[in-house]
């Protein structure tokens, strides 16, 4: 899956009261690179500005960093990428309504910046936790077979009785809490893509 990220849009959502500096941008790029490596998704993170007149594409680890240049805006570059990649599985990450409408015109779903950043943070945290977990102990099978006939009889008797919780009776309460059906094609595409985040 290709994920097009409106870089400063995400950073301004994450750090709403501060000016985004180079250190925050580099830390964010590092997080995205680790995330891309873990998920095997192809990421483009697009920022406004740069020293060049045209967009500059830089490959770093598992992501492509794009600076729009001083002639174009990040929005213009993102729109061009949406047009180029429209035949592929693409997700736009931005809270910019104009960009979201533009993506929808190409049947490309969008995700809010903070929601996506939450997925990135959760995935990185889960990866760190997995790396710190000790190895699972090995289970050894016993050569002897249990000869406890009383225990076997008790287990057999217990397996014949099934207990139901009150919620299982279909009193209508669960129907109220079920998520609404996805109505649009974009919603359905987004639902599938979320599983790959």
**Rg over CA atoms, the chain:** 25
Q: What is the mean pLDDT of residues 94-118?
A: 94
Q: What is the pTM of this model?
A: 0.70
Q: Distance (Å, rounded) from C-alpha 30 to C-alpha 19?
A: 19
Give the separation between CA 7 and CA 30, rounded to whole angstroms. 13
Task: Quote the pLDDT of residue 176.
Answer: 42
Domain residue extents for the chain: 2-130+187-194, 145-185
Report d(CA 30, CA 61) in Å as an integer: 9
Q: What's residue 112's pLDDT?
A: 95
In the predicted structure, residue 1 carries a pLDDT above the cut 70: yes
DSSP of 54-93, one letter per residue? Answer: S-EEEEETTEEEEE-BTTS-HHHHHHHHHHHTTTS-EEEE
Angle at 69 between CA 63 and CA 73, to 5 degrees: 90
pLDDT at 156: 63
Higher local confidence (pLDDT), 18 or 58 = 58
Question: Residue holding tokens 């015109």?
Answer: 105
Q: Among the listed ranges 16-20, 106-110, 161-165, 193-197, which one has the minimum average pLDDT value?
A: 161-165
Q: What is the mean pLDDT of residues 86-91?
A: 93
pLDDT at 151 over 80: no
CA dist., res. 182 & res. 190, Å (int): 10
Q: What angle do CA 194, 32, 55 make, to 5 degrees?
A: 105
With a pLDDT cut of 90, the percent of the chain lying above it is 51
**Residue 47: helix, strand or coil by DSSP?**
strand
Average pLDDT over residues 20-47: 92
State how far the Cα of 123 lies from the Cα of 191, in Å rounded to an integer: 17
CATH 3.40.50, domain 2-130+187-194, yes or no:
yes
Instruction: Report how far residue 5's alpha carbon sits from residue 11's, in angstroms, rounded to the nearest whole number.
Output: 10
On average, the pLDDT of the chain sits at 81
pLDDT for res 56 = 92
C-alpha distances (whole Å) from 67 to each of 25, 31, 58, 72, 98 are 12, 18, 8, 9, 20
């Amino acid at each position: 899956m290709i994920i097009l990220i409106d870089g400063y849009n995400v950073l301004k959502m994450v750090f709403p009261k501060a000016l985004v500096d180079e250190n925050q941008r580099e830390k964010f790029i590092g997080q995205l690179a680790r995330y891309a490596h873990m998920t095997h998704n192809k990421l483009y993170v697009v920022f406004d500005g740069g020293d060049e007149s045209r967009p500059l594409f830089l490959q770093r680890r598992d992501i492509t960093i794009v600076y729009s240049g001083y002639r174009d805006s990040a929005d213009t570059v993102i729109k061009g990428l949406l047009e180029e990649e429209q035949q592929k599985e693409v997700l736009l990450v931005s809270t910019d309504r104009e960009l979201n409408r533009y993506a929808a015109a190409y049947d490309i779903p969008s995700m809010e910046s903070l929601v996506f950043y939450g997925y990135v943070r959760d995935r990185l945290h889960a990866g760190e936790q997995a790396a710190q977990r000790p190895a699972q102990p090995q289970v050894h099978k016993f050569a002897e077979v249990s000869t406890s006939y009383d225990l076997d009889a008790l287990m057999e008797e217990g397996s014949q009785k099934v207990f139901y919780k009150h919620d299982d009776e279909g009193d209508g309460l669960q129907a109220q809490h079920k998520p609404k059906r996805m109505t649009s094609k974009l919603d359905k595409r987004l639902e599938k893509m979320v599983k790959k985040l």
